[in-house]
Structure 1
Amino acid sequence: MFTDLPEPPSSVKDLWDSSMAERVGTMLDGEHRVAFVYRTPDTSTFRYRVANTVDALNHEPAGRLRAGWFCDDELRALTRIVPELDAIVVARYPWNAALRELAQKATSHGVPMIFDCDDLVFDVDFAELVMSSLGKDPDVNAEWDVWFAYMGRLNASLAACRGATTTNSLLASRLSGYVEDGAAIVPNVLNRTQQEYSRELLDAKVAGRWRRSGPVTVGYFSGTPSHVRDFAVASTALARLLDEDDDVSVRIVGYLDDLGALEPHRERVEFQKFMHYVELQRSIAEVEVNIAPLSHTAFNICKSDLKFFEAAVVGTWTVASHTPSLDEAIEDGVTGRLAKAHEWDAALHEAVALARDTTAYADRALPAAEDAHARWAWDSVAEPLTRALEPYLRR
């Protein structure tokens, strides 16, 4: 495990810690104004698809476009300022009465709505696949009620939109069939606080000559309780690795408690609870190997590359499943390692051997980190988002 890393900032002002009045003021101060709507602030989709992008737009020095985000209990207030807007981005917001009123007002004033979604959850034809991917019991009727309702409402929101934005080409091709103006790709990126602290962690590794101690630690950073099936892709190979090598340990952060094949080695597994995303960067930085296994389904192959770049920016090596986004993000064997289902044993052994060779590890991890800091920089999203919204900037 890497040592002597700086502690997280003592206090972090999250991008969503602001009043509606502040957000409206910032948005209306721009030559062009875009409102993002989302159910309620959270640390996953909202952070990456709304808060990070809004913040990047509002800190673009030469930008003509300013933005604000608005949640459930703010939609009716937002309706009153629709005539001042150029566009409304509906970020994975299920159809309801407040959104209907907002859509009606937008239509009457010629303000277009754009749908944003980062998962294959807007078509009920995929409801059973989504349930299966998330480990939901198909014999429980309540699960069908929940997922058909949620995905059907998202589809109704999509139907009210002229265009769409999303994270990758697969989702863009799915969305394009639903909207008049097609779909544009707006990637996930870091935010300013996350990137600044990640740079501090990386610099500390370099200054400390990538000093580490104790067992090589393999980290799995679970975002939701539904990742049991994904973890199972790598857990059998990971269990074999622990059988063979007494100097390897595992860190699991988040909700996962079902170890599957790794259960006999539970005493060598460190569990950390779900934590703030800035603190998470330190936890990722401490481990030598980050794993991002995904079961091969139509739902998972639409996943983005954030599990790779969150690790790359702090100088941690990643072994990941093949998906279009991860294939594009990772130069196999150079910036990380891509593994098919039958390749996890070899990939994990390679990663552990690499971790034990400090010079070789640094020679790969540092260039990968510098590339990630440039490619997924907080300010890199303003240009593709502005380009996607350009047709709607009517003022």
Structure 2
Amino acid sequence: MRSMFKDHLDFLKQHRKIIIANYDDLIFGNTEIAMESSAVKNKTMMVDEAIKAFQSNLEALQLFDRVVVSTEPLASMVRLFNPDADVQVSPNFLPNSMIALHKELSFHERFRYNNTIGYFAGTLSHNRDFPIVEPVLHRILMENPELNLIVVGPVKLPRSLSALPNVTVTGVRPFQQLPGLMAACSTAIAPLENSTFNRCKSRVKFLEAALTGVRLVSSPIPDMQAIGEPHLILADTHDDWYSALSEPPVFAAFRPQAKTNFDRIAMGQDVSGFEILGNLA
């Protein structure tokens, strides 16, 4: 925990200020949780560094009596380590400014062929996630050369996949280009390794897909299960992934669902019907 952090909190509390901690990822906990973090698994942080960071964040968390998190599993982890805190769940949603921009761009209405699958990885942390679906992708791309895979981001692909003629790897691209790249795909995938860290993750990939009219196939983390089908496809086993990706629906068939997904997030609701407390400007 940073020097003087507790002193600053105590000062604010003495002046009757409301102090709220906000978490979107599992970044606190004991040694076991730190060892399971994506930073350790993907070797972007040394083990001792991760343990120290998670312990420091845990000490900071325990100073708060009000906490807001983005998912129910993350709320459970906060209650485990700070049982006296008032914990509220506020699911991720999109600001009005972004909704307005995408209404004007109308990416969700753009026609696209049903032969392009997109994988959009924001960080190296997904290097342990992609192998969940890699064997299936290799199989369907070999079976059907007319299918294409585009991979955006720093994730590392095995040579057996990246060398295929129907695979395009763009590397890291500016965030502003993401909507246009997604709108060129009929399907986006969000494979996640089964771990405590990933089970706490939120529905951001669904929000991105809904903005751009893309059918999303995702691992069944709880925040995606809360959205449920038909808004997205949940895939747990290799058979699930193969069934979802080997014969993607034509865009005309998915278009009504794409419009429904966009309209729901544009109204400030998650698609399970829960009213989100006010879009941000």
The TM-score bracket by the shorter chain reads: 0.7 to 0.9
Q: 8 Å contact 1:201–1:314 — kept in the other structure? A: no
Q: 8 Å contact 1:127–1:151 — kept in the other structure? A: yes
Whole-angstrom distance in 2 between the partners of 1:260 and 1:330: 34
1:103/1:341 Cα in 2 relative to 1: closer, same or farther (>3 Å)? same
Structure 2 unaligned residues grouped into runs of 5+: none
RMSD: 2.6
Residue 274 of structure 1 deviates from its aligned partner by 3.2
Aligned to 1:249: 148
1:285/1:131 Cα in 2 relative to 1: closer, same or farther (>3 Å)? closer
Residue 363 of structure 1 deviates from its aligned partner by 2.6
1:253/1:197 Cα in 2 relative to 1: closer, same or farther (>3 Å)? farther
1:255/1:266 Cα in 2 relative to 1: closer, same or farther (>3 Å)? farther
- Alignment partner of 1:162 out of 61, 65, 77: 65
Q: Scaled by the length of structure 1, what TM-score is found?
A: 0.63
Deviations 1:303-338 (A, max 9, x none): 10110111112211111110110011232xx22211
Residue 299 of structure 1 deviates from its aligned partner by 1.2
Higher-Rg member (1/2) = 1
Q: 8 Å contact 2:108–2:210 — kept in the other structure? A: no
Q: What is the aligned length?
A: 273
Aligned partner letter, 1:366? K
1:189/1:264 Cα in 2 relative to 1: closer, same or farther (>3 Å)? same
Moved over 4 A (4+): 380-385
Structure 1 unaligned residues grouped into runs of 5+: 1-94, 386-395
SS at match of 1:119: coil
Deviations 1:49-107 (A, max 9, x none): xxxxxxxxxxxxxxxxxxxxxxxxxxxxxxxxxxxxxxxxxxxxxx2124233113123
State whether structure 2 residue 184 is matched by structure 1 residue 286.
Answer: yes
Q: Scaled by the length of structure 2, what TM-score is found?
A: 0.87
Aligned partner letter, 2:262? A
Aligned partner letter, 1:218? I
Residue 121 of structure 1 deviates from its aligned partner by 1.9
Q: 8 Å contact 1:321–1:338 — kept in the other structure? A: yes
Aligned to 1:180: 84
1:274/1:98 Cα in 2 relative to 1: closer, same or farther (>3 Å)? farther
Deviations 1:139-193 (A, max 9, x none): xxx7122101211111111121112110111111221230523310012111233
Aligned partner letter, 1:121? I
State whether structure 2 residue 236 is matched by structure 1 residue 329.
Answer: no
Q: Using CA pairs below 8 Å that are at least 6 residues apart, which structure has the higher relative contact order? A: 2
Q: 8 Å contact 2:199–2:221 — kept in the other structure? A: yes
State whether structure 2 residue 235 is matched by structure 1 residue 339.
Answer: yes
Whole-angstrom distance in 2 between the partners of 1:230 and 1:325: 17
1:217/1:235 Cα in 2 relative to 1: closer, same or farther (>3 Å)? same
Aligned to 2:204: 306
Aligned partner letter, 1:212? R
Whole-angstrom distance in 1 between the partners of 2:102 and 2:52: 39
SS at match of 1:313: helix
Q: 8 Å contact 2:28–2:58 — kept in the other structure? A: yes
Matches within 5 A, 1:19-168: 95-125=1-31, 126-131=33-38, 134-136=41-43, 143-168=46-71
Aligned to 1:76: none
Residue 362 of structure 1 deviates from its aligned partner by 1.3
Q: Percent identity?
A: 25
